[in-house]
Structures are given as C-alpha cells and as structure tokens.
C-alpha cells in the first residue's frame, strides 16, 4: 500500500482505526437496502450508509492512493476496526441500537478532529459532522417513538441495548498510535476521555426516554482492534467476492 | 372536481388533450385501469430494488458500493412515490398494495422474477433492463393523461436515464476488461436478453384501453422493435453475442429481425412462477414480518 500523506505510522494507525470502523458500519447498514421496516426508512438508512462509506473513503484517501485495494484486501490482522463495528446485525433492533450508539460516538470522535494538526483531517471532520447531525436525529427520534410505542418494542430495544452497550465500549479501545496522535494534536482527546463523554451522552438519552438499565460501563478492552470477530473471514470474503474473480481487473 | 356524463364525454375530454387529476370524478373504468398500471409499476420498482440488493454487499469497491446503493435507493424511492400516487386514487391503501404484493395477489415486471447470479447480472440489469424500463416509461410520460402519474414520471424517467448511462459505463469496463469480465458479461447477457425484450410485453391488443386513454403513447411491439434496433448493434459493438440464433439483419431495410419470441417464460412470471419468484417473495414476506413490531410501535405503513 502507498501512503501519500506525511503522517507517521502511529498517526496513520489512529486514522485507520476510524476509517475501518466507518467502512464496516457503512457496509452493514447498506445490507438493509430494500428490507428496512418501511419505505421511508429504507431511503433514510440507505443515505446514512452512503454517508458512512463516504467518511471511510475520505479517511482512507488520507492514507493511500488505492482506496479499494487498501480497504478491501488487507490481511485480517492489518485492520484496526473495533468488534462493535465488525459484527453483522441482521435483527432490526440491534441495527437501530448500534446506529444510535455508533453515531453518538462518531459525533465525539469527529469533534475531536475538527482542529486536527493532520493535513486534510479537519475538512473531512467538518463535512462528516454536518451529516452526523442528521444521523443522530434520525436514530434518536426513531428510538424515542418506538420505545414509547409498544411494550413489545420497548422489550426488544432494551434487550438490544443491554446486549450491545458493553460491546459498544470497544469503540474506545485505543490503538498503539493514539498516544502519538494526542501528543501531536491530531486528535483533541484520548479514547478514555472520549469514552467518558460517550457514557454521559448515552445516559442522557436513556434518562430522557425513562429507560433504566443494569449497565455498568467497563473500561474499553485493550487490544480489541488487533483481533477480528468470529465470522470476520466470511464477511471479508463476501466483500471481496467479485474482486476475487480477477484481482487485477478494473471493475 | 370535474365530472363527465359518460365514457364518450370523458374520451372527448382526453382526445382534446385533457389531464385527469386525483380529485376528479373519473370513470371507474379509467380509475381501475390506471390504478392497476401504477400499482404494477410501483411493485416493479420495489421488487427491482430487491433484485439489485443481492450484489451490493459484494460491490468491487467502496465508491461502486455507494453508486449502486444510490441507484437502488432511487428504485425504492420510485416505489415510494408511485405507491403514494396510487393510494391517492382511493382503490387501495399503501398497506393493502404491499400486502397484496407479498401475498402474490398483484404483479410486478417479469425481469424481477429472475435472480442476479453474478456481478455482471447487476450490470446487465442496469444496461438492458433499465434501458427497457426507461423506453417504456418515457413512452408513458409522453402523453400520460393522469396528471399525478405524469408529474412523478418526469423524475423517474430522469433518474432511469442516469441509471442507463451508468449501466453503459459499467458495461464498457467489462467489455474492455479482462477475459474473465467479458465471459462474465456474456453469460449475464444470455440470462437477461430475452427477459429484457419480453419486458415490453406481447403485442398490444387493438383495443388497449391504456392507449385509447393516452396513458400509454406507443404500442408494445413498436417500443420493443425500437429497443432491439438500438441494443443489438450496441452489444455487437462491445464484442458480445446476442443469444438469438435466428437474429439477422434484413438486407433491404437494415433492420434487425429477431427469432419468434417464446412468451412462456413471461406467462410463468405472471403467476409468480418465474425462476426466482418463490425465493424473492418468500424473503420479502419474511423481512416484512420480522419488522412488523417496529412499524406497529411507531404507527407507520410498510
């Protein structure tokens, strides 16, 4: 892979972690096209999926000249995504809850990059934040309406929250390059500080919806971004199904 | 609200270039036929989106994934608009239309009863099927006497034209690419050529009410003939073989003459017995059922 930027390897790893998260969350959201619960939601979620993929592309472009090769064809060990972004969620309640949690985290992560010292990062962050406002509104309004709409929906969504909240902390699992990214002003905060903000924001939403959970946030697990979830090989093979037919072809 | 004394009076209105609006007291025959036509169009856009979605996860690039997402989003968006136009005709609600579609009680285009087997099928759909749909829809847009449908078609035709051009760009990559890519598209062409030609339907009956009422502006066979004249040379030019052993060019007129069309595959799709009808509908029914709890909780239609 080529690296057109002058970023150090540590800073590249920090940017890569965010790019890979965006890539996989965007790809998982894209799965819902045509099968979201209703037509308007199909259109909304599809736009959000395109936005997330666009964020991934914009970040990958800071790291490489060949986005597709880099995004799709690295060895599994070279990805820096968190397990929360990697895992497939074919149940709507899980997808909606991840959408809510991931976008809270995205808002914090992008805001920490708006004054980044890394070339190109502030512009990407500004653009992403303008889109994330819609994403946050979308997920919170849907959750709010559904949680109060029926007891069945509330049971499903609360179960999904209890399942996913602990795993969501993997978004704050730092990469080795984070210390350098913080020290050089590439990002305005550590993952640990961002995780605190995240927990506060999640609790504020839960409080506004009168949802009480038995969630006790744990520190983000070390090394999560160095491991891949079960099924990642299958997922990556699926992403590469066409490229594998002729890896040298231009599609 | 406008009214007409009888069908002859209504026909005079249409012959003079009149445009019918949703709140007009239109003859029930017109309401029923136009509704059925729009419902069929809406169903086809929705099921077309489901046909295309199968290969989006495997798109060979992130920008391509965005592009095909946007394209499929357009198709779902067309369905959304068309269901609203149809629902305003007060024959069925959107929920009833979708329930009927999933129950196999209403129809959708023949091509969406087929499965996209490879990535090249995705391109064949964009190049061949979208082009056929574009030609068909443009012919409806040309004179359409039902105002709400005509206004929606302006947008749909515009977007389908873009899809068609994108299909051509994608095909160009396959045609100028590796042998693997050329073979892949040739195989897809063999699967999609006849369904695309059949999309126009059998020859229009002499008394087709949709022609009489200027909903359609052109006969099926005329549109089909024009399509063949355009797409056979294009495909030949890209180095592909049209899967029709009897296809030849008339020495005098220069027109491309096809073999006699076997309409049995089209008829099979009309009863949801196409090659992929069962899987397509079963998946749609399952997905619809699995998210019913969410729709109910927020009080929305499907």
Instruction: Compute the distance between CA of residue B176 and CA of residue A73 in angstroms, rounded to an integer.
Output: 24
Measured between beta carbons, the chain B residues lying within 8 angstroms of A38 are: 291, 295, 300-302
Per-residue pLDDT for A234 more than 60? Answer: yes
Report residue A5's pLDDT band, with 50, 70 and 90 as the boundaries. Answer: low
DSSP A68: H
- Position A4 scores a pLDDT of 56
Q: Give percent above pLDDT 70 in chain B.
A: 100
Question: What angle (nearest 5°) sits at the alpha carbon of residue B42, between those of residues B38 and B48?
Answer: 140
pLDDT of residue A6: 74
**pLDDT tens per residue, range B172-183:** 999 999 999 999
Distance from CA of A145 to the nearest CA of B (A): 6
Give residue limits of the domains in chain B: 7-298
pLDDT digits (tens, 9 = 90+) for B73-102: 999 999 999 999 999 999 999 999 999 999
Distance CA A100, CA A165 (A): 11
Residues B193-197: what's their mean pLDDT? Answer: 98
Query: Using the beta-carbon criterion (under 8 Å), do B57 and A246 form an inter-chain contact?
Result: no
CB A216 within 8 A of CB A146: no
Closest CA to A242 of B190, B185, B162, B113: B185
> CB B159: neighbour CB atoms within 10 A?
18
Please state the rounded mean pLDDT for residues A10-17. Answer: 97
Residue A3: pLDDT over 70: no
Q: Which of A37, A95, A234 to mutate to test the interface with B (most CBs of B within 10 A)?
A: A37
DSSP string, A88-121: ---SHHHHHHHHHHHHHHHHHHHHTTTT-SSTTH
| Contact call for A39 and B297, based on CB within 8 A | no
Domain A9-245 fold is Ferritin (1.20.1260)
pLDDT, one tens digit per residue, over A147-168 is 999 999 999 999 999 999 999 9
Residue A209 at interface with chain B, using a CB cutoff of 8 Å? no
Q: What count of other Cβ atoms lies within 10 Å of the Cβ of residue A144?
A: 14
A200: part of which helix (H) or strand (E)? helix A191-208
CA angle B76, B94, B288 (to 5 degrees): 65
CB contact under 8 A, A38 and B301: yes
> Which residue in B has a C-alpha nearest to residue A242's C-alpha?
B60
For residue B1, the model assigns a pLDDT of: 83
A12-30 mean pLDDT: 98
| Residue A10, φ and ψ in degrees, nearest 5 | -65, -45
Buried b (16+ CB within 10 A) or exposed e, B53-80: bbbbbbbbbbebbbbbbbbbbbbbbbbb
ipTM of the complex: 0.96
A53·B65 Cβ contact <8 A: yes
Is it the case that residue B23 has pLDDT exceeding 60?
Answer: yes
Ramachandran class of B98: left when φ > 0, alpha when ψ lies in -120 to 50, beta otherwise? alpha
Q: Does the structure show a pLDDT above 50 at A138?
A: yes
Chain B residues with CB-CB distance to A33 below 8 A: 49, 53, 56, 69, 72-73, 76
CB contacts < 8 A (A, B): 148
Nearest to A24 by CA among A73, A86, A66: A86
CB contact at 8 A, B108 and B276 = no
What is the residue-wise DSSP string for chain B? --B-SSHHHHHHHHHTT--B-TTSB--HHHHHHHHHHHHHHHHHHHHHHHHHHTTGGG-SSHHHHHHHHHHHHHHHHHHHHHHHHHHTTTSS-HHHHHHHHHTT-S---GGGGS---SHHHHHHIIIIIHHHHHHHHHHHHHH--BHHHHHHHHHHHHHHHHHHHHHHHHHHHHHTS-HHHHHHHHHHHHHHHHHHHHTT-SPPPTT-HHHHTTSS-S-HHHHHHHHHHHHHHHHHHTT---S-TT-EE-TTT--EEPPPP--HHHHHHHTT-STTHHHHHHHHHHHHHHTHHHHHHHT---
A249 pLDDT band, cuts 50/70/90, is very high
Separation of alpha carbons B38 and B150, rounded Å = 11
Per-residue pLDDT of A75-126, as tens digits, reads 999 999 999 999 999 999 999 999 999 999 999 999 999 999 999 999 999 9
The domain B7-298 is classified under which CATH number: 2.40.30.60, 3.40.50.300, 3.40.640.10, 1.20.1260.10? 1.20.1260.10
Q: Which residues contact B203 (CB under 8 A, 6 or more apart)?
A: B219, B220, B221
A32-56 residue pLDDT tens: 999 999 999 999 999 999 999 999 9
Among candidate residues A73, A69, A72, A71, the one with its CA nearest the CA of residue A59: A71
User: b vs e for A69-106, b when ≥16 Cβ sit within 10 Å of the residue's Cβ?
Assistant: bbbbbeeeeebbbbbbbbbbbeebbbbbbbbbbbbbbb
pLDDT of residue B302: 84
The rounded percent of chain A whose pLDDT value lies above 70 is 98
Flag whether residue A247 sits within 8 Å of chain B, measured between CB atoms: no
Residues forming a β-bridge with B146: B20
Residue B276 has pLDDT above 70, yes or no: yes
- Cβ B173–A56 below 8 Å, yes or no? no
pLDDT one-digit tens code per residue, B221-271:
999 999 999 999 999 999 999 999 999 999 999 999 999 999 999 999 999
Looking at residue A2, its pLDDT comes to 40
* DSSP label of A228: -
B204 vs B215, B261, B266, B268, CA distance in Å?
13, 15, 15, 19
Domain locations along chain A: 9-245
What is the pLDDT at residue A1?
41
* B117: Cα within 13 Å, side-chain hemisphere: 12
Cβ atoms of residues B156 and B137 within 8 Å: yes
CA distances for B167 relative to B111, B120, B148, angstroms: 16, 10, 29
* Residue B137 near residue B78 (C-beta atoms within 8 A): no
pTM of the model: 0.95
pLDDT for res B301 = 84
B113-154 per-position pLDDT tens digit: 999 999 999 999 999 999 999 999 999 999 999 999 999 999
User: Rounded to an integer, what distance in angstroms lies between the CA atom of residue B99 and that of residue B112?
Assistant: 18
């Amino acid at each position: 892979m080529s690296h057109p930027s002058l970023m150090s390897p540590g800073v590249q790893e920090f940017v890569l972690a965010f790019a890979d998260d965006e890539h996989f969350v965007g790809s998982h959201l894209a799965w819902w096209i045509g099968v979201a619960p209703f037509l308007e939601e199909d259109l909304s979620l599809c736009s959000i999926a395109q936005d997330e993929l666009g964020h991934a592309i914009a970040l990958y472009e800071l790291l490489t000249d060949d986005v597709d090769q880099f995004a799709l064809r690295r060895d599994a060990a070279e990805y820096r995504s968190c397990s929360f972004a990697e895992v497939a969620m074919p149940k709507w309640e899980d997808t909606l809850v991840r959408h809510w949690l991931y976008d809270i985290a995205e808002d914090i992560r992008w805001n920490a990059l708006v004054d980044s010292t890394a070339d190109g990062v502030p512009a990407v962050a500004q653009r992403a934040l303008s889109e994330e406002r819609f994403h946050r509104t979308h997920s919170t309004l849907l959750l709010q309406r559904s949680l109060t709409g029926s007891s069945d929906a509330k049971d499903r969504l609360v179960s999904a929250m209890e399942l996913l909240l602990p795993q969501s902390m993997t978004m704050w699992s730092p990469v080795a390059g984070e210390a350098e990214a913080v020290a050089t002003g590439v990002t305005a905060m550590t993952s640990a500080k961002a995780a605190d903000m995240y927990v506060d924001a999640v609790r504020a939403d839960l409080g506004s919806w009168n949802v009480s959970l038995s969630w006790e946030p744990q520190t983000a697990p070390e090394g999560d971004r160095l491991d891949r979830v079960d099924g990642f090989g299958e997922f990556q093979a699926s992403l590469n199904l066409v490229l594998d037919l002729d890896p040298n072809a231009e599609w | 609200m406008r009214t007409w004394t009888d069908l002859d009076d209504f026909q005079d209105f249409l012959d003079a270039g009149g445009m019918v609006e949703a709140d007009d007291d239109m003859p029930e025959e017109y309401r029923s036929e136009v509704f059925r036509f729009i419902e069929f169009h809406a169903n086809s856009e929705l099921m077309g989106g489901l046909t295309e979605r199968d290969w989006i996860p495997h798109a060979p690039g992130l920008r391509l994934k965005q592009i095909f997402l946007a394209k499929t989003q357009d198709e779902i968006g067309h369905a959304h608009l068309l269901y609203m136009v149809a629902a305003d005709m007060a024959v069925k609600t959107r929920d009833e239309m979708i329930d009927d579609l999933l129950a196999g009680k209403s129809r959708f285009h023949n091509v969406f009863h087929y499965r996209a087997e490879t990535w090249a099928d995705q391109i064949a759909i964009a190049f061949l099927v979208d082009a056929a749909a574009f030609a068909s829809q443009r012919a409806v847009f040309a004179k359409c006497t039902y105002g709400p449908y005509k206004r929606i078609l302006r947008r749909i035709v515009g977007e389908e034209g873009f899809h068609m051009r994108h299909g051509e760009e994608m095909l160009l990559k396959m045609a100028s690419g590796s042998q693997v890519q050329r073979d892949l598209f040739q195989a897809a062409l063999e699967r999609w050529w006849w369904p695309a030609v059949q999309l126009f339907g059998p020859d229009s009956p002499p008394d087709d009410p949709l022609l009489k009422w200027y909903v359609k502006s052109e006969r099926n066979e005329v549109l089909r003939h024009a399509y063949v004249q355009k797409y056979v040379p294009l495909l030949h030019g890209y180095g592909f073989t049209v899967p029709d052993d009897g296809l030849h060019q008339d020495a005098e007129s220069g027109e491309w003459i096809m073999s006699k069309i076997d309409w049995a595959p089209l008829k099979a799709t009309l009863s949801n017995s196409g090659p992929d009808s069962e899987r397509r509908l079963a998946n749609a029914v399952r997905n619809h059922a699995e998210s019913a709890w969410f729709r109910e909780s927020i009080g929305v239609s499907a």
